[in-house]
Amino acid sequence: MAATAAVAPESWQAAGSRKRRSGARRPRRREAATRDPEAEFEADSGVVLRRISEAKKDLFISDFWSSALETINKCLTKHLEQLKAPVGTLLDTFGNLNLDSSPDESDVAPDYSIPGETLGTRTYHWKCVCYGIGNFATCIIARNQLTFLLLLLEKCQIPRSHCWVYDPLFSQVETEVLNTLGVTVLSENEEGKRSIQGDATIFYMLHCGTALYNNLLWSNWSVDALSKMVIIGNSFKGLEERLLARILQKNYPYIAKILKGLEELEFPQISQYMDMFNDTSVHWFPVQKLEQLSTDTWEFREEPDYQDCEDLEIIRNKTEDPSATDLNSLSGTHCWLR
């Protein structure tokens, strides 16, 4: 899918407060204090690229990055074994990459001559889809989350052209920056309804609305498709703790049904990056667990509509839902939780 120079002026809905059970975790709202003090007004693309490069260097040398990488490696190694891909640890691949290159080399003009899918001694193809990264030009949290994505692509040797990105909040400058970085900016609000079409895919969806995860599961509701997916995003265990069982089953049935068919590893909790990656886990779907789910589980394929859901947390595609929230109702003083 070709990159586009502009994104339709839609917006995710700001998340409201929710009741939760004692001790349950939930994603933290991005407050005004997390906005870049240098970015009262959006900077030009060159300045944004420089800030991304600086954030990338800081993240790369942090304890959080090394710990998070270990967590992801454990999950992806198991995932590759399941896909009958080379079983050598991803750390072998990770060690072949040089992330000390200058920002001009690694951030602006990545070298696609490096075999993007090499794992061990054989090859395997991964793709990546990112939803809801936010206004990274003006929000420090969003910028660090984008930086993490860029490092992840490099570590997994996924060419940036094989990464699709969408957030209806993207400004024209942010879209220009993403195009410069080499990722593919989607022009349509998919509402998370993307089929992997048989391709092993990592979905990077930090602090997104619960309906987005539910839609993604519905779009890939089979043992074959789910077994080829990895989701880095809000903890499904946290959702189970936070929502009443009847609400989860009624509003988000695909999440409720898949809880016994997945494995989840939590991201490390390190204070420096707590606001950016709290309540975040890596999820994958072992074939053995999926095959143990009942036949009725897989026969249920009703498309989610959320007509009775009071706290949806996402905006619907305007081509399907003309009553979507007006941009004027969203304040620019917060980095919104999507």
Q: What is the mean pLDDT of the chain?
A: 77
Residue 41: pLDDT over 60: no
Q: Tell me what the mean pLDDT of segment 77-106 comes to.
A: 55
Q: Is the pLDDT of residue 16 over 70?
A: no
Residues 237, 213: contact at Cβ < 8 Å?
no
Cα 189 off chain centre by: 15
* Residue 308, φ and ψ in degrees, nearest 5: -105, 10
Query: Is residue 96 scored above 60 in pLDDT?
Result: no
Q: pLDDT at position 307, please?
A: 83
pLDDT score, position 116 = 33
Distance CA 29, CA 14 (A): 9
pLDDT at 27: 53
Contact predicate 285/258, CB 8 Å = yes
The pLDDT assigned to 224 comes to: 95
pLDDT tens-digit series, residues 195-214: 999 999 999 999 999 999 99
Q: What is the mean pLDDT of residues 29-39?
A: 47
The 10 Å Cβ neighbour count of residue 182 is 19
**92 — pLDDT class (breaks 50, 70, 90):** low
What is the three-class DSSP state of 95?
coil
On the question of pLDDT at 55 being above 80, the answer is yes
Mean pLDDT of 216-223: 97
Summarize pLDDT for 255-299 with one digit per residue, the tens: 999 999 999 999 998 888 988 999 999 999 999 999 999 999 999
* pLDDT (tens digit per residue) in 116-157: 333 332 356 789 999 999 999 999 999 999 999 999 999 999
pLDDT digits (tens, 9 = 90+) for 62-80: 999 999 999 999 999 998 8
Question: In terms of DSSP H, where are the helices of 87-171?
Answer: 90-94, 103, 140-155
Task: Please check whether residue 93 is in contact with residue 118, taking contact to mean a CB–CB distance below 8 angstroms.
Answer: yes
- In this prediction, residue 313 has a pLDDT band, given cuts at 50, 70 and 90, of confident
